[in-house]
A and B are shown apart, each in its own frame.
Chain A
């Protein structure tokens, strides 16, 4: 008999709240190498099981195993390690700068470095990225100067964005990095439009976009999936499931009864779910999706299963809503440690080299921060000339803005 008693409203609860122990033991984590790797020309209907799997390459002994293990050189892995370590060092320094009042706001990507870094390496340097605010690793991996990024964070005289954007909302056309919006998920359908334009122009470049588990509930993400599949756009749609959208766990965004990768099934596109802290798996899955897009085989949805080890932003206090030690208990470990251990297992890296690199990067970030601060910081007063406030609203300034500028006396 079905239960017809009143059942109340279901509001999904997270695994644990402050003071409780996160029960990650209930997470299904398949062994590395256990998920099959289909050909890129596979019919999406034949891989409807993959969105419920978890693609992993690095095993417990730090070896790369299974069909997804990518054929990559130790040099590429060392580049990845360096970019992840630089990203973390950059984040630490900018957090410190925010605490010192040199900027008002900062967003770290601690624990998620493999997402942007491995993906930037798997994409071509001129593929177009439509990121959200936790993919600073894309810019760093592409060799964009951290000095330029710091100047944006400090809104100083060297800030190319003229102090108009919240810190971390970078933009770099040259680096193939689209202007970040604070309105979430809007970039996803824009990425699809860019990819459609590339297809229209027979341009071999593809687009990639990133959205969080929380923001994937926005309508824009649904539109991105619809347009991507309808026009078979050459785009890689990355959904970074870092478990938390500020204080809401991923179940509030619709992840309690299914996986986010499974959203792909209804749109007839491959949905791949990957261990987001496994550099090699993230690289392999992204390369697969990128090759597929470039071959004209259409879009792919990738769910990067990871953990937001830091606060949402400097304005957030996660101890109010999740166990303090949850990050340490995350069963998929730390992406930097895991790649480092893999390189050591390969005989291509050592603790000594690692220490030396860490010192080199910390020093370089500190030196660069000093240089960036020499061009000004937010607490020292607005750097851009006030009259620039009225520029770039339109290509040419209309009369009403000219009069408002005069009214302000600048």
Chain B
């Protein structure tokens, strides 16, 4: 199997699907001739033609509105929002239209869209190129929300997202594009070629939405994480020596509740980690679900490690980023309780 980084894996998913289904079209800002600012669509226009991978005006609401219309026609649009921070102009088309169309038309019209959204910080992107707004979308009924943490999952999950008949927000942590990131920016960067999940088949395969993965089995405490924070949690477990069971949620909605309940019921302790701001973030939903389902198994209060409730600060981003030090503190805290 070839080694791929996450950009190549995402590209391979779209390549695979463009070849399989003529109703798939890809568009967004700079995605056509240039292949996207992160190069995720590189070569696709050359291979499949102008009409199937094309550039759009800088108008996220327009991109989504057009995608909803194409979906109603019967196409399966895969659109890129260049940065998650730019998705807000498209909220009405996502929340009021794509997410509600099946319901309001009683199934006459659907929105089989995939919205690829590079997200997250740790790249010195400042407050307009670093956000993780997934919690806004998990709050919207009718949408599905996916965040992969490695190239293998990225390809398999993106293929499932494209094949899904409901609108899917597919968040791609930018910090993971070129290699796994343990939250230590001072250390040399690692690459996916040296990681088992960096081996990606060139052919078609799908990873079902709604299924979490146990990336590190453990007995002492359950860590619920996704995206970049999966790797940070692994580093924190190694550095503290605490036998943490790390769940990579992969799909936030629909959530793999069975995997969460099984793990927390076993360990009796739970730490929730995400890069997004804390208040009303997805971690709040996870904490509520864990106490609803596992209260009598819990031996310690649930801990949340998240970004602070501030904009993502440009020069202070490593003080904002929930690194392995903070995750390790939370692990120790739940173990001491």
Q: Which A residues are within 8 Å of any B CB, using their own CB? A: 128, 130, 160-162, 164-165, 169, 171-173, 178-179, 181, 183, 186, 188-198, 200-201, 207, 219-220, 223-224, 226-227, 230, 392-395, 398-400
Contact B101 A179 (CB under 8 A): yes
Segment from B68-76, B220-228, B274-282 that makes contact with A = B68-76
User: Smallest Cβ distance from A172 to chain B, in angstroms?
Assistant: 7
Given A179-B109, A193-B70, A395:B210 Cβ within 8 A: no
Count of chain A to chain B residue pairs whose CB atoms are closer than 8 Å in the complex: 140
Contacts of A193 in B (CB 8 A): 65-73, 77
Among B32-78, those with CB < 8 Å from A are: 51, 56-57, 59, 61-62, 65-75, 77
B97 within 8 A of A: yes
A171 & B104 in contact (Cβ 8 Å cutoff): yes
With a cutoff of 8 Å between Cβ atoms, the chain B residues found around residue A178 in the complex are 72, 109
Residues of A within 8 A of B166 (CB): 394-395
- Which of B66, B71, B72, B104 is packed against the most chain A CB atoms within 10 Å? B66
Please count how many residues in chain B sit with their CB below 8 Å of the partner chain's CB atoms.
45
B257 at the interface (CB under 8 A from A): yes
Question: Could you write out 12 A-B pairs with CB less than 8 Å apart?
Answer: A164-B104, A186-B68, A189-B62, A189-B68, A193-B65, A194-B69, A197-B75, A201-B73, A226-B62, A392-B102, A392-B103, A399-B254
Q: Is the CB of A179 within 8 A of B105?
A: yes
Contact between chains at B101 and A196 (CB < 8 Å)? no
User: Given A162-B106, A165-B104, does the pair A223, B62 have CB atoms closer than 8 Å?
Assistant: yes
Task: For B68, list chain A residues within 8 Å (CB).
Answer: 186, 189-190, 193
Q: Which residue of B lies closest to A183 (CB)?
A: B96
**Given A200-B75, A227-B57, A190:B105 Cβ within 8 A:** no
- In the assembled complex, which residues on chain A have CB atoms less than 8 Å from the CB atom of B109? 171, 173, 178-179
From B69, B72, B141, name the one whose CB has the most chain A CB atoms within 10 angstroms: B69
Instruction: Find the B residue at minimum CB distance from A159.
Output: B106
Contacts of B62 in A (CB 8 A): 189, 220, 223-224, 226-227
Contact A400 B254 (CB under 8 A): yes
Candidate in B71, B74, B108 with the most chain A CB atoms within 10 angstroms: B108
How distant is the Cα of A220 from the Cα of B92 in the complex, in angstroms? 10
Q: A220-B61, A393-B142 are in contact. Are A190 and B102 (CB under 8 A)?
A: no
Contact A190 B96 (CB under 8 A): no
Query: Residues of B with Cβ closer than 8 Å to A?
Result: 25, 51, 56-57, 59, 61-62, 65-75, 77, 89, 92-93, 96-97, 101-110, 141-142, 144, 164-166, 210, 253-255, 257
Minimum Cβ distance to chain A for residue B52 (Å): 8
Q: State in angstroms the CA–CA spacing of A207 and B65 once bound together.
A: 14
| Given A198-B73, A200-B51, A399-B257: A190 and B107 interface contact (C-beta under 8 Å) | no
Interface pair B73/A186, CB less than 8 Å apart: no
In the complex, which residue of chain A has the Cβ closest to the Cβ of B141?
A: A393
Q: Which A residues are CB-close (under 8 A) to B107?
A: 392
Please indicate the chain A residues that have their CB under 8 angstroms from the CB of B25 in the complex: 200
Chain B hits for A191, CB < 8 A = 69
Nearest 5 A-B pairs (CB), nearest first? A193-B69, A189-B65, A223-B62, A193-B66, A190-B69
Of the candidates B92, B106, B164, which one forms a contact with A160 in the assembled complex, judged by CB atoms under 8 Å apart? B106
Which residues of chain A are within 8 angstroms of B164 by Cβ–Cβ distance?
Answer: 395
Contact call A161/B65, Cβ cutoff below 8 A: no
Contact B72–A194 (Cβ < 8 Å): yes
B327 to chain A, nearest CB (A): 27
**Complex Cα spacing A160 to B51, Å:** 36
Out of A164, A186, A394, name the residue touching B97 (CB < 8 Å).
A186
> Once the chains bind, are B92 and A224 in contact (CB under 8 Å)?
no
- Shortest CB distance B267–A (Å): 22
Contact in complex: A220, B65 (CB < 8 Å): yes
A172 to chain B: closest residue by CB:
B108
Q: Verify B108–A179 contact, CB threshold 8 A.
A: yes
Considering the complex, give the chain B residue whose CB is closest to the CB of A200. B51
User: Assuming the A-B contacts A220-B92, A394-B142, A395-B110, are A171 and B105 also in contact, with contact meaning beta carbons closer than 8 angstroms in the complex?
Assistant: yes
Taking each of A190, A207, A395, which has the highest tally of chain B beta carbons within 10 Å of its own beta carbon? A190
Closest to A233 in B: B66
User: In whole angstroms, what is the CA distance A251 to B101 when docked?
Assistant: 32
Tell me, rounded to whole Å, the shortest Cβ–Cβ distance linking A175 to chain B.
10
Interchain nearest-CB distance for B76 vs A (Å): 10
> In the complex, A183 Cα to B90 Cα: how many Å?
13
Measured in the bound complex, the distance between the Cα atoms of B51 and A196 in whole Å is 10
Task: List residues of chain A with CB within 8 A of the CB of B141.
Answer: 393
Q: Are A161 and B93 in contact (CB under 8 A)?
A: no
**In the bound complex, what is the Cα–Cα distance between A209 and B226 (angstroms)?**
42
Task: Kindly provide the distance from the CB of A249 to the nearest chain B CB, expressed in whole angstroms.
Answer: 25
A226 touches B106 (CB 8 A): no
Given A392-B102, A394-B102, 6 extra CB contacts under 8 A: A128-B73, A189-B61, A201-B73, A220-B93, A395-B102, A395-B165
Are A219 and B108 in contact (CB-based, < 8 A)? no
Given A171-B104, A186-B93, are A230 and B72 also a contact pair (CB < 8 Å)?
no
